[in-house]
Structure 1
């Protein structure tokens, strides 16, 4: 699916042969070393990411070893620690015997694979392949009598091997050394993994990592398509896209396909673009030969200057980039210069590279992901678009779509998730007008029926259409941000255009010691933990004493986790668990039947903690969001909430300079103030000063 998305969204790129990608790609290994492995096959869990980070993979063999080592046996035996320490030279590599040096060199003296055991006993004791496999199976079964017999054969074989005897260290006799090696094999064979399996898995891990390093948007879209029925995965991938700077957009009747797709929205030189430039043109990549050496430095500097500037049109982007580069090189007005040829000639390798790497790509939800909208309804929507092109207003959609396939409930759901935003931005207004729209649409279709004995026969067809399709929208404000998000969640099962926790970044940084990922089992029993999230399911039951307790499912930006709230605590916090407000849940880790949960000690509503504990507020905003109207409205709003707490503006200019403004006025920090600020300045970031908030963990 990733390769298909690359083909459809990167039509100017060469097709990818995943079986022929370089196995030493530096961008891929950089990704591994950052443990940026969400979406990478077999390497997504918190524990696996920790091992990858510790390992700092530098060759494909490290990936193979990671997959073999990340199991309870090796993790608990010290093998993994030895491997990592030896790999990084912090511990001397010790081989059981000099004859095993070649066999164990790739794993730094650690027995990792079953194949190493088979090779080892062949080299040391002269076993045939069949004898070696019998030994492997005998060790696996752990039958004392059979093990004793195999030990005897192994020791005898070693003592008959002159090279084994000759190269034995003087600290022990050959017989002692042979028994010691058998003990080592016996111990580690219980943890040995089939290398061929690990290589096969490792290849898929490497391939998905390569795709994430070079085609991150396409890979993430493919992951969404494969995980739409797995809520935790989708939540995690939405969060990962946000961290990657990739926008995930709600469904849209004008733009969405059935499944998740990738769409270009403009051009921007990002940190990632510059990193790829260094990789492709300043290293040993074949791309390096496509640009004259003297242009490398001007191109690099031009990228740094234009970093994070957005361009809608390709022509404008290429023109400004070329002018900027020429200016830096001192070759002004040289229309036939090498850089102009490189940048403006769309067939040139560098131009293709630049347009590919600077292209802003977004992921668009597919219409199939919308709840209660079946495949026939999706087909009807796509049919309208295929036959009539992009729609311009809501009533045009209502006139042209088959309302036998797309019913009122489906339209309501599509409005809730933002699928009509490109036709009418005010979702609340549109939702309130659905009944009228259906009525007008039905009148329109009746008017089109032949031999209709009605007033429409007396009208010109154009007049009839104009009369019928005049939909009047009620004068209502758009849903507040939180309600829009809740409606999206109802329609899709996920928060897409934002998350209720986005408003609590300051609090989460201070208060949350873990996330829902704690269920992966990295924390110890009874560890004290605090996490922030929203209750999405709260099942209240009665215990044997007829007291209420609850089974709660909490969702954060990483997924969901379920835990009980026992009667003694439920009595105090039960009302909070009924709300959909972000909560701080504190307690201790609990393992039951290998499932990770927690014993809850306390629950706090984050909005209440903010109102009582926040001592100052910082408003971060881009200068492009400020105009006369927004500044005037902002001033009036802040004056309305006059109080005793200071606030500061940090305004980001187009030149990436932060201008700090500290007014003399003071405010009262309340939830309603925050809601109004989010409506006035939807792209702002609020941070709060908390001198003593840690006390609530």
Structure 2
């Protein structure tokens, strides 16, 4: 029986029941048997098919367990055309402790690969504006006997100008594929000289000119003539792009953030004040979170302010975090209350809950209802009321205690402090009456450094 021939199966049922009854079988039991067969047919495999699936599943599990970097590189390569899947699997790789590095002209291939250090290197073929021919030219140039590319101009001399044109140069620069060259930052590639020419243009012309000069020298009838050496263009001096500008340009070419993420400076808030930890992606299945308060942090990537046909203002905001993005609609009083936060590029903290949609009868037709929007930069100060410093007595020594004391003394502030000393399953809680701290980035960095040494943890108490 097979689900692909449901019509044929339906035609055979009367014959099965009648012939079964003729042979003295109970009709009720025959009906039960037929229903069981139909259920089986809805997802049935023959033995050979099941065996093949089991064998592939075993091989996949073995590779993932024993060659995790190679496995994840293959998965990323298989999903290169789907940027959402690439983002998901990059996050999965990092969660498993496998670094995912940006593209590099000295290491990358067309697809994702594992470098000698065990990290996954981004595939050049996944970059916008870099075609398969260009990637082949980059890889072929590395194999010309001179080893890796030593500089931007060495790269320009050794790759084919037919395949690596100005557009490809720009994509490689924006995506960070030239970051391995010492003394260069990405803004310099696009800085103009006194004649309005960028370093990218000069490098492309230099490479084409050098190869043309080589070809002319080889074709000359005067074998004794020396090849004329072309001087390398001067590298312009300019300020680096700020991190947000760099990441935005990088994402335009690669499709994802590689060098960092705009939310990296808010990792503390993301970890301790957002719930659930999976972030916005939980709203893909909102019913599971019905009735629960949810807290998200993200960057506004799109905001719209509109007027309805009835003349009432409303708007929408699309929020993006590490794992996904979500669009929220705001109407009536909610829009008037939160419209000032609907600014592209702003980082906001959103609270709300999953509720039944307005004007819908189906109780399972739900949406996330925004209850509060705040600036993400303000929530740490507003929300955190007390820090609980948890110390394992067996892991403490005089030096570590002195470091803890200096850290507390050097960061006075409004957040209450409680020290918890743990020993053999028992805990002594000691709220401080005289010491309070400020949870600024400097304090958090020092605290994380102490935690890395073991024996120290912390938790937070929120005022809301």
Give the TM-score taking structure 1 as reference length. 0.47
CA displacement, residues 392-430 of structure 1 (integer Å, 9 cap, x when unaligned): 222322444455644445434323322112113753453
Q: What is the Cα deviation at residue 252 of structure 1?
A: 0.3
Q: 1:542 to 1:225 in 2, by over 3 A?
A: farther
**1:238 aligns to 2:90 (yes or no):** yes
Q: What is the Cα deviation at residue 575 of structure 1?
A: 3.8
CA displacement, residues 154-183 of structure 1 (integer Å, 9 cap, x when unaligned): 566565xxxxxxxxxxxxxxx6xx736734
Task: Provide the rounded CA distance (Å) in 1 between the counterparts of 2:79 and 2:28.
Answer: 51
CA displacement, residues 651-674 of structure 1 (integer Å, 9 cap, x when unaligned): xxxxxxxxxxxxx9987555xx57
- What is the 5 A alignment of 1:585-664? 585-588=351-354, 597-615=367-385, 643-644=413-414
Q: What is the Cα deviation at residue 255 of structure 1?
A: 0.8
**1:189 aligns to 2:62 (yes or no):** no
Q: Contact conserved, 2:286 with 2:366, CA < 8 A, in 1?
A: no
Gaps in structure 1 of 5+ consecutive residues: 1-113, 116-132, 140-145, 160-174, 266-360, 453-459, 620-634, 649-663
Q: Contact conserved, 2:166 with 2:200, CA < 8 A, in 1?
A: no
Give the 3-state SS of the residue equivalent to 2:143 in structure 1: helix
Greater RCO (CA < 8 Å, at least 6 residues apart): 1
Aligned length: 397
Gaps in structure 2 of 5+ consecutive residues: 193-197, 218-224, 390-405, 419-433
Other-structure match for 1:179? 28
Q: Contact conserved, 1:647 with 1:667, CA < 8 A, in 2?
A: yes
Q: Contact conserved, 1:613 with 1:690, CA < 8 A, in 2?
A: no
Task: Provide the rounded CA distance (Å) in 2 between the counterparts of 1:570 and 1:213.
Answer: 49
**1:393 aligns to 2:245 (yes or no):** no
Task: Provide the rounded CA distance (Å) in 2 between the counterparts of 1:644 and 1:463.
Answer: 70
Q: What is the Cα deviation at residue 471 of structure 1?
A: 2.4
Task: Provide the rounded CA distance (Å) in 2 between the counterparts of 1:428 and 1:421.
Answer: 7
**Greater fraction of residues in helix:** 1
Q: What is the Cα deviation at residue 544 of structure 1?
A: 3.1
Q: What is the Cα deviation at residue 257 of structure 1?
A: 0.8
Q: After TM superposition, which residue ranges in structure 1, 4 or more long, deviate above 6 angstroms? A: 460-463, 591-596, 616-619, 664-667, 674-678
Q: Contact conserved, 2:316 with 2:327, CA < 8 A, in 1?
A: yes
Q: 1:389 to 1:582 in 2, by over 3 A?
A: farther
Q: 1:665 to 1:393 in 2, by over 3 A?
A: farther
**1:528 aligns to 2:292 (yes or no):** yes
Other-structure match for 2:10? 137
Task: Provide the rounded CA distance (Å) in 1 between the counterparts of 2:417 and 2:253.
Answer: 37
Give the 3-state SS of the residue equivalent to 1:419 in structure 2: coil
Q: What is the Cα deviation at residue 196 of structure 1?
A: 1.0
Q: Contact conserved, 2:298 with 2:321, CA < 8 A, in 1?
A: yes
Task: Provide the rounded CA distance (Å) in 1 between the counterparts of 2:165 and 2:381.
Answer: 44
- What is the 5 A alignment of 1:211-610? 211-265=63-117, 361-387=118-144, 388-402=146-160, 405-424=163-182, 427-431=185-189, 433=191, 435-436=198-199, 438-439=201-202, 442=205, 446=209, 465=230, 467-474=231-238, 476=239, 479-480=242-243, 482-502=244-264, 503-505=266-268, 507-513=270-276, 515-518=279-282, 520-521=284-285, 523-524=287-288, 526-530=290-294, 531-580=296-345, 581=347, 583-588=349-354, 597-610=367-380
Q: What is the Cα deviation at residue 250 of structure 1?
A: 0.6
**Greater fraction of residues in strand:** 2
Task: Provide the rounded CA distance (Å) in 2 between the counterparts of 1:210 and 1:535.
Answer: 41
Give the 3-state SS of the residue equivalent to 2:119 in structure 1: strand
Give the TM-score taking structure 2 as reference length. 0.66
Q: Contact conserved, 2:100 with 2:122, CA < 8 A, in 1?
A: yes
State which drifts further: 440-449 or 608-617: 440-449
